[in-house]
Amino acid sequence: MANIVIGVTGGIAAYKAIDLTSKLIQAGHAVRVVLTGNALEFVTPLAFQAISRNHVYTDTFKEEDPSVISHINIGEWADIIVVTPVTANTIGKLANGIYDNMLLNVLAANTKPVIMAPAMNVHMYNQPAVSRNIQTLMGEGYHFIDAESGFLACGYNAKGRMANVPEIKAYIEDLLSTDRSLAGKKVLVTAGPTRESIDPIRYLTNHSSGKMGYAIAEAAASRGAEVVLVSGPVNLTSPGNVERISVESTQDMFEAVKGHLDADIGIFTAAVSDFTPATVHGSKMKKTQDNDELTIELKKTPDILKYAGSHTDGMFVVGFAAETDNVREYAAGKLEKKNADCIVMNDVSNKEIGMNSDDNEVTMLFKDGHEQQFPKMDKQTLGIQIIETLVKRWNA
């Protein structure tokens, strides 16, 4: 069992941290809680003290034990720190090196993994400054559990609600159980859509959000891997400790992938275009009154997964089959035709687990006949599960 520090900041979701504390205690973990001054407007130290059976920390200058400096001792005691909820204010301060309360001082003196579970109004969540600050912290190795869409305290029904307690607990325990089994190994991940230009204004693309690939890249990095993420155009923050190569077209992605075929594991989640315009117009195509229809000639793009499957000796090659019909048939065929070691299949006709959704439900088909099914869950948690399964099968 682990020593877990829970930090609570000033948001209405602070009450959920009481439930998280209870769940972790029930699971056998030791928990200490740090509340910011603003958190005290929503919850009381007594509630956490009664559940954790530990002193609750609220003030940097209130030293209950003269033999230690509390904000340093707490971090040394912890195996992991979880800030839930974390507000835009705390994210901004931490990203810019401002440590003006007990929790921020604990984080400043900390060397252990930190998980952040944001909760705020949707417009606050989408503020460029908040996105920049989150990206900064992720680049420094902080883990973020993405906020959910749902009913918010402000009355909006949108993204910004803190992730649910079971999801946070699962993420904590998955991170604690990480055995650095990919340390010294290289993992190549492709993610997102590609854009195939028609002219300087228009392009062909698809609905891929890149969320699945980014979750997998983060999970691989958390196990100690050197991760190269080749990403099409997405609106996502790069995971911490990951080298991101941004590309536009399938050809761009193909060239980037060819430079990293020395990877131990290649996971090709990107929804690449199978065809691209045969001719890219140098100026904007104009519609005319004489033409009610427009024909665009297309040509095939490079088959990145098939190339990786036939041009690498040591790489464990994993592809994705996002299908709408005859899902298993097409996925099994792809496993053979692409010379892959594994295909992850999912039915994207179901909008709840399709492209651009926060959740997914997949089945992993392996070349040796083994199958691994995963029920519907958020993509971040699923990324952890997929990496764990791949490590076991790869080692086997």
The set of catalytic residues is 154
Coil/strand/helix, residue 46? helix
- Please spell the DSSP secondary structure of 52-78, one letter per residue: H-SPEE--TT--S-TTS-HHHHHHHH-
Amino acid occupying residue 112: K
Residues with Cβ within 8 Å of residue 42, at least 6 apart in sequence: 10, 11, 12, 14, 15
d(CA 40, CA 127): 26
285 three-class SS: coil
Query: 221: part of which helix (H) or strand (E)?
Result: helix 211-222
Contact call for residues 82 and 115 (beta carbons, < 8 A): yes
Closest CA to 115 of 171, 62, 158, 161: 171
CB 130 within 8 A of CB 91: yes
By DSSP bridging, strand 186-191 and strand 298-300 are unpaired
Q: Do the Cβ atoms of 7 and 81 come closer than 8 Å?
A: yes
Annotate 161-179 with b (16+ C-beta within 10 A) or e (fewer). Answer: bbbbbebbbbbbbbbeebe
Residue 382 to residues 131, 193, 212, 333, 368, Cα–Cα distance (Å) = 23, 20, 8, 24, 22
Whole-angstrom distance between the N-terminal and C-terminal Cα of the chain?
28
Beta bridge partners of 157: 151
**What is the token pair recorded at 315?**
């790489």
Q: What residues contact residue 239 under an 8 Å CB cut-off, 6+ apart?
A: 138, 214, 217, 218, 221, 227, 229
